[in-house]
Structure 1
Amino acid sequence: MGKGDKYASLAEELLGKLGGASNVADAVHCMTRLRVLPIDRSKVKMEDIKNTEGVFGVIEEETIQIVLGPGVVNKVHTEFEKLLEEASGDLNLKEVASKNKSEIDRKNAKPFKLFLRRIASIFIPLIPALVASGLITGITKAIVQAGWLAAESQLAIILTVIGSGLFAYLGILVGTNAAKEYGGSPALGALAGILVINPAVGDISLFGENLLPGRGGLIGVLFAAIFIALVEKQVRKFIPQSLDIILTPTIALLITGIVTYIVFMPVGGFLSDAITNGLLNVLDFGGVVAGFVLGAAFLPLVITGLHQGLTPVHLELINSIGDDPLLPILAMGGAGQVGAAFAIYMKTKKASLKRAIGGGLPSGMLGIGEPLIFGVTLPLGRPFLTACLGAGVGGAFQAQFGIATSSIGVSGLPLTFLVHPNQIALFLAGLFISYIAGFIFTYLFGFKDEMAVEFK
C-alpha cells in the first residue's frame, strides 16, 4: 500500500467510526490533531477510534481531537476532506453541517474556551512563518557569533532581513486573522494592525505626549482588529447596498482609528507592561521555584488546550523586551516527557508499548510532544506525573540561568537555534537535565509493566 493509500485508508476508517460523513459538522487540523465536530456524539465509536492503528490518543472537548502526529495529520485531513466533499453531493451535507455546526457552537459556547479557541485560530496559522523566521534569525546570529560569517557581509545582512521581516509587520497578519475570526473583512483587520505599527503614529500628540509607534503591541492590534470587525458588521446594517463598498469600510476605519489612538494603544500598552513586568517579576523573585512550577505545569496545560492562549504572551514578551525567557522553561515539558518515555521503553516487555514509544520519540525530541502524551504517558497515569517532575527540574535550571529565545517556535532540540547564541550550551544542558530527571523519576517511581494493561 502506498503512502497516499495509507492516509486515505486511515481517513476512511476514522470517518466511519465518527458516524459517517453525515455526522461531521466540521473538520480542521492543527500541528498534530485532527479536530472533528460531530453532529451526534452518540454515533461516535470513541473506543474504536482510540484503538485505531496510527492514533496516539483522543481528547474530547467541543471537538473530538484525534492525535495523529506532525506530518501525518495534514495528509489525513486532506483525505478526510475529500471524503466529506464526495458525500456532500448526495446528502447536501454542507448546508446541513453549517446549520448543525452553528447549533453545536451555540451549545458549547463557554466564554473562556471560546476565547481560547479564537485566540488559537488567530495565531496558529502564523506558527509556520514564526518558526521559519525565528530559525533563520537564530541560525544567522549563531553563525555570526561563531565567526563563520562577518556581520557586515551582504549574506549576513540578507539573512537578517529575511528572518526579521515578519516581526516588523506581525501586527498586520495578526490583525488580518483577528478580523476574519470575528466576521470582519481581513483587509480591514490588516489596516487595524497598520494603525498601531505605522511609524507616522509618532507624529500624533495626545494629552501633551506623542504616541509611540507600536505602543500596545499585539494586544492593541487585537483590540483594534476585533473592534473594526464589529463596527463593520454594525455599520453594514444601516448602509444601502449600493453604497456599502464605499461607506462601510470608510466609516469603520475612521471610527477604529480614532478609538485606537485614544483608547486601544494606551490600554494595550498598560496591559502589555503588566503582563511583561508580572512575568519578569515572577521569574526574578521566584527563581528556580518559579521555573520548576512553570515547567511542571506546562504538560497539564497541553492536555487541556490552555497552552494555546500563551502564544500572544510569548510574542508580547519579544515585542516588549526583545526576547522570551518563558519559552525555554515551558519547553522542558516536552523534555521531561521524552525522559519518561525512554524509562518506560527500558522497563517494559510489551512490544506494542515499545512501538508506540518508538513512533513518538523522534517527534518528541523535535518538540512535538502530543504523541507521547496521549499515546503513552497519559494513558499510563503515573508516568505523566513523573514526566511533569522531570520538566520542573529542567524548568528550574532554565530559570536559574535566565535562558531566553529571540523568537518562538517548536520546543525540543530545534529551539536551540532560537536561544541567544551565548546561551546555547546552557539551554542544551537544561534540556538534557530534564531528559535525565524525567527518566530517573519514571524509572524509579513512575512505571511498572503491569500498569500497561492497554498494551500487549
Structure 2
Amino acid sequence: MKYEQLAKDIIENVGGEENVNSVYHCITRLRFKLKDEDKANTDTLKNMDGVVTVRQSGGQYQVVIGNHVPDVYKAVAAKGGFEGQEPDDTEENKDKGSLLNRFIDMISGIFTPILSVLVAAGMIKGFLALFVALEWLDTTGGTYQIFNAVGDALFYFLPVILGYTAMKKFGGTPFVGMVIGMALVYPALEGIPQAGEPLYTLFAGTLFESPVYIEFLGIPVILMTYSMSVIPIIVATYFAAKLESFLGKVIPSVVKAFLVPMITLLIIVPLTFIIIGPIATWASQALGQATTSIYELSPVIAGLFLGGLWLVFVMFGLHWGLVPIAINNFSVAGVDPILALIFVHSFALAAAILAVWLKTKNQNTKTLSPPAIISAIFGVSEPAMYGIALPLKRPFIFTLISSAIGGALLGLFGTRGYVLAGLGVFQLPSFIHPEEGLNTAFMGAIVAVIIGSVLSFVLTYFFGGINRIETAPAETEETKETEQSATATAEPNVKNEVIVSPLTGEVKKLADIEDDAFASGALGKGVAVEPAEGKLYAPVAGKVSALFPTQHAIGITSDDGAEILVHIGMDTVQLDGRHFTAHIAQGDRVEIGQVLIEFDVDAIKKEGFVLTTPVVVTNHDQYEITDANEQEVKAQDLLFELKAK
C-alpha cells in the first residue's frame, strides 16, 4: 500500500489506535475524534513528510493532507482497524467544548460525507447553465433533461441523503433517517387539493401564512415543500435518534429489531409533518430572509467581511457554520449571496503563491508551489495556505486583503449564486442568471477575480519579504534566545566552499539514479554515492538543520551558507528507522568527518532497498557547482566544489 508507512506514523502520533474514537476525511483533511488530544504529538505530525499541517478545531483533531487524502484515509483506516467504524458520539465521548464547537462538529459531521458529491452535482448544474447561456443546449432537449436530472437529483432528494448522515451523526439508525427523508418528499403528498382554510400563525399575512391541505387524526397538517430542504430533516432525525435510543432500552430484545424502527417512524413522521416540518421550514425561511436582509443592508461591507475572513474561517473550521446557511438559501430562495462573496479568495491565494514561486530562492518552496497553485485555482486552498502562505505570513495577509477587496467588488456588482457549485474556477458558472444569462453580475465576478488576483500578486511579489523570511530558521526556543543570530542567517552570505564525501563508495551522476525527484534535480543539485560501508560522515562543518525521525536522511547548513541534504538509499523511509542509528540530533553542531549516522548495508539490501545515496545542495541556485567525475571515493575525499554566484 502506497501510504502504509505514512498511515502508521500518523496513527502512532495521534496517540495510537486506542486513543482514536473515530476518523473520517473531507476534501483535504483527516478528521480524528480523539479521546485525549494531549496524547497526540502535534509538532511531530506537522513536520512529517506527507502532512501539510495540523488543526485542532470544532472538537476535531484535523491532520491536513491535501488532495490525496482519500488514499491516505484508506491506509489509515486499514492500518488502524477503523474501517466501517462509526463516529463515537456516546455521552462520555461527546465533545464537552463550547456550544460553537459542538455546533460546528455537528454540521461538519452531517455534511462532510456528502460534500464531494454535493459539489459535483452543483458543478453539473452550473455548467448546464453555462451551456444554455451560450446556446449550446436547449432546455427542452433530451440531452439537457438527462444531464439536469443527474445534477438536480441529489438536491431534490437532499432530505433523504441528510436523513442518513444526520441520523448517523446523532447515533441513530441511518436507514430510519432515510425513510423519514423519503416520507418528506413522497410524490403522492404533492398536489393534494386544499381541504381547509389557510392557517395563520401569529405572523399572519407574512411568509408564515400556509394553507391546510389534509388532516391527520383530526389535526390539521400544513404541507410544505421539503425537496431541497435542510433544517426540517436535521431536526426530525435528532428527535428520532433520541426516541430510538429510549425505545431500545425499554422494548424487549426479542422484538427490538423491528418494533424500535416501526414505532420510531410511526411517531416521528407524523410529528414532523404536523409540528417539526412547518416550524423548521418557517425557521429556514426566516434565516434566509435574515441573510438576505444583512446582505442588502450593505453588500459591499458583507463582501469585505466574508471575502477577507473566509480563509480564517476555514483555518478554524468556522466555515461549517455558513455552509448550511448557504444551502438553506438555495432551498428557500433559489439564490445565495454568501458563497458568491468568497469567490475571489482561491484566485487571490493562487496569485500570491505564483509570486512566491517566481521569486523564491528556496528549492523546496519552488517544488511545492505549482501543485499548490493548481489546487487553489480548483478551490482547494489548504495546500497553498498551510504549506506556503501561512509559514511566510505576508503572502497570507496580502491574500486576505485582496480577497476582501474582491468580495467588496462582488457585493458592488450584486453577484449571487443560483446553484450550489464547487469553489474556485468551478464556481463561476453558478453565477449565471437563470433568465438574464451572462449579465452584469456575472461579468462583475470576472472583474473582481482579475483585480483581486493582480493585487495579491503585486503585493506579494514586491512586499512579501519572501526570501528574507524563507531562509530564516524555524522559530524554536533556541532561536528566540538568539534573535541576532537568526537575523544574521536570514539572508546568508554564501561563500565558495568545498564539499567532501560523506561516504566511502562509488560516485554516480544524479541523473542516473532511480528516484525521479532526485534525478531531475527538483530536490537539489549534486551527485550520488553508492556506499561501500555503513557510515555517514559530515561533509561540511555546520548545524544539523533537519534529521528525519526514521534517521534515513539528514540536512546540514554549513557555516558558509550551503544547505546540504543527504538521503541514504531510495524509499528507505519505509524501513521506519530499522537498521539506522543516528549519533546526532537536530540542532547539533557537527564538524567535517564526524560520524553522523551508521546503517547496516547488508540488512537494508536484504529487505530489497537500493542504497544509492544522493548528496545534494538544496540552495544550489546561489552557486555554480563543479561536475564530479564518476570515481571511487573515500569518506572526506573531495566530492565537488561550490562557487558562490
TM-score by length of 2: 0.63
Say which SS state the counterpart of residue 31 (structure 2) adopts. strand
Give distance in 1, aligned partners of 2:92 and 2:464.
Answer: 40
Alpha-carbon distance change, 103 to 253 in structure 1, aligned in 2, over 3 angstroms? closer
Q: Check conservation: 1:329, 1:398, Cα contact below 8 A.
A: yes
Residue of 285, 296, 306 corresponding to 2:297: 285
Mean Cα deviation higher: 372-381 or 435-444: 435-444
Q: Is the 8 A contact 2:398 2:460 kept in 1?
A: yes
Q: 1:177 to 1:454 in 2, by over 3 A?
A: farther
* Percentage of pairs with the same residue: 27
More off after superposition, 295-304 vs 13-22: 13-22
Partner of 1:189: 177
The DSSP-based 3-state class of the residue aligned with 2:409 is: helix
Check the 8 A contact 1:56/1:372 in 2, yes or no: no
The equivalent of 2:423 in structure 1 is 411
Partner of 2:322: 310
Cα distance in 2, alignment partners of residues 104 and 58 from structure 1 = 25
Structure number having the greater strand percentage: 2
Counterparts in 2 of 1:295-306, with a 5 A limit? 295-306=307-318
1:66 counterpart residue number:
63
- The root-mean-square deviation of aligned C-alpha atoms, in Å, is 3.0
Contact kept in structure 2, 1:55 and 1:68, CA below 8 Å? yes
Quote how far apart the aligned CAs of 1:413 are. Answer: 0.8
Partner of 1:384: 396
**CA distances 1:58-78 after superposition (whole Å, capped 9, x unpaired):** 2134443221111x1111121
Task: Write out per-residue CA displacement over residues 405-437 of structure 1, whole angstroms, 9 at most, x where no aligned residue.
Answer: 232233111112333152554333322222122
Asked whether 1:118 is paired with 2:106, we answer: yes
Deviation at 1:295, TM superposition (A): 0.6
1:18/1:251 CA distance change after superposition, 3 Å: closer
Q: Measured at CA, do residues 64 and 225 of structure 1 come closer, stay the same or move farther in structure 2, by a change above 3 Å? A: closer
Select which of 226, 231, 240 maps to 1:228.
240
Residue 367 of structure 1 aligns to a residue in which SS?
coil
Question: Is contact 1:196–1:220 with CA below 8 Å preserved after alignment?
Answer: no
Q: Are the counterparts in 1 of residues 172 and 241 from structure 2 also a CA contact under 8 Å?
A: yes
1:32, distance to aligned residue in structure 2 (A): 0.3
Aligned equivalents of 2:129, 2:139: Cα separation in 1: 9
- How many correspondences in the alignment? 443
State the shift of 1:395 in Å: 0.9
Task: State the Cα deviation string for residues 217-250 of structure 1 (Å, max 9, x = none).
Answer: 3111211121112112112322222333443223
Q: Counterparts of 1:84 and 1:251 in 2: how far apart (Å)?
A: 37
1:136 lines up with 2:124 in the alignment: yes
Residue 120 (structure 1) shift = 1.0
| Residues in 1 aligned to 2:223 and 2:186: alpha-carbon distance in whole angstroms | 10
**In structure 2, C-alpha distance between the alignment counterparts of 1:406 and 1:107, rounded to whole Å:** 36
Q: Deviations over 1:164-198 (max 9, x none)?
A: 11111111111121112112122221232234334
Residue 395 of structure 1 is matched in structure 2 by 407
- The answer on whether the counterparts of 2:354 and 2:457 sit within 8 Å (CA) in structure 1 is yes
Q: C-alpha distance in 2, partners of 1:265/1:118? A: 20
How far off is 1:318 after superposition? 0.8
- 1:255 and 2:267 matched: yes
Cα deviation code 1:308-341 (max 9, x no counterpart): 2222212111111112222121232222222222
| Alignment-derived partner of residue 213 in structure 1 | 224
CA contact (8 A) 2:95 2:102 kept: no
Q: 1:49, CA displacement in angstroms?
A: 2.0
Deviation at 1:282, TM superposition (A): 1.9
Judge conservation of contact 1:318–1:406 (CA < 8 Å) in 2.
Answer: yes
**Separation of aligned partners in 2, 1:365 and 1:169:** 30
Change (3 A) 1:21 1:258: closer
Equivalent residue of 2:231, what SS?
Answer: helix
SS at match of 1:377: helix
- Give the secondary structure class of the aligned counterpart of 2:30: strand
Q: Give the Cα–Cα distance (whole angstroms) in 2 for the partners of residues 250 and 373 of structure 1.
A: 49
- Cα separation, partners in 2 of 1:286 and 1:79, compared to 1, 3 Å: same
Q: 1:41 to 1:127 in 2, by over 3 A?
A: closer
Counterpart of 1:355 in structure 2 is 367
Aligned to 1:84: 80
CA distance in 2, matches of 1:40, 1:245: 34
Contact 1:341–1:357 (8 Å) recurs in 2: yes
Who is 2:143 aligned against?
Answer: 155
State how far apart, in whole Å, the 2-side matches of 1:104 and 1:433 are: 51
DSSP-derived class of the 2:55 partner: strand
Query: Higher helix fraction: Structure 1 or Structure 2?
Result: 1
Asked if structure 1 preserves the Cα contact closer than 8 Å seen for 2:122 and 2:422, the reply is no
CA distance in structure 2 between the partners assigned to 1:107 and 1:301 by the alignment: 20
1:426 is aligned with what amino acid?
G
* SS of aligned partner of 2:250: coil
In structure 2, the CA distance between the partners of 1:338 and 1:133, relative to structure 1 (3 Å rule), is same
SS at match of 1:190: helix
> 2:160 maps to which residue?
172
Q: Unmatched 5+ residue regions in structure 1?
A: none
The amino acid of 1:32's aligned partner reads T
Q: Which residue of 2 aligns with 1:422?
A: 438
Shift of residue 351, structure 1, vs aligned partner: 1.8
* Contact 1:198/1:214, CA 8 A, preserved across alignment: no
Q: What secondary structure is seen at the aligned counterpart in 1 of 2:230?
A: helix
Q: CA, structure 1 residues 23+229, in 2 after alignment: closer, same or farther (shift >3 Å)?
A: closer
Match of 2:386 among 366, 371, 374: 374
Indicate the residue corresponding to 1:275 in structure 2.
Answer: 287
The AA in structure 1 aligned to 2:414 is: G
Q: Which amino acid aligns with 1:441?
A: L
CA distance 1:454–1:304, change in 2 (3 Å): farther
Q: How far apart, in 1, do the equivalents of 2:115 and 2:473 lie?
A: 35
CA–CA separation in structure 2 for the residues paired with 1:26 and 1:285: 43
Amino acid across the alignment from 2:453: Y
Aligned counterparts of 1:39 and 1:172: Cα–Cα separation in 2 = 31
Cα distance in 2 between the residues matched to 1:183 and 1:271: 25
Shift of the 231–39 alpha-carbon distance from structure 1 to 2, 3 Å rule, reads closer
AA of the residue aligned to 2:438:
N
* CA deviation map 1:254-311 (0-9, x unaligned): 3223332332223212321222112212222212122111111111100000112222
SS at match of 1:422: coil
What SS is found at the alignment partner of 2:298?
helix
Q: 1:19 to 1:451 in 2, by over 3 A?
A: same
> Is 1:130–1:407's contact at 8 Å kept on the other side of the alignment?
no
**Is the contact between residue 23 and residue 87 of structure 2 (CA under 8 Å) also seen in structure 1?**
no
Aligned mates of 1:326, 1:130 — CA distance in 2: 17
User: Is 1:11 aligned to 2:7, yes or no?
Assistant: yes
The question of whether the paired residues in 2 share the 8 Å contact of 1:360 and 1:371 is answered with yes
Amino acid at match of 1:66: V
Separation in structure 2 between the aligned mates of residue 186 and residue 352 of structure 1, nearest angstrom: 46
The structure with more radius of gyration: 2
* CA–CA separation in structure 1 for the residues paired with 2:10 and 2:430: 37
Contact 1:291 1:399 in 2 (8 A): yes
CA pair 406-244 structure 1, distance change in 2 beyond 3 A: same
Whether the aligned pair in 1 keeps the contact of 2:299 and 2:414 (CA below 8 Å) is no
Report the AA paired with residue 185 of structure 1: T
In the other structure, the counterpart of 2:465 is 447
Distance 1:296 1:253 in 2: 45
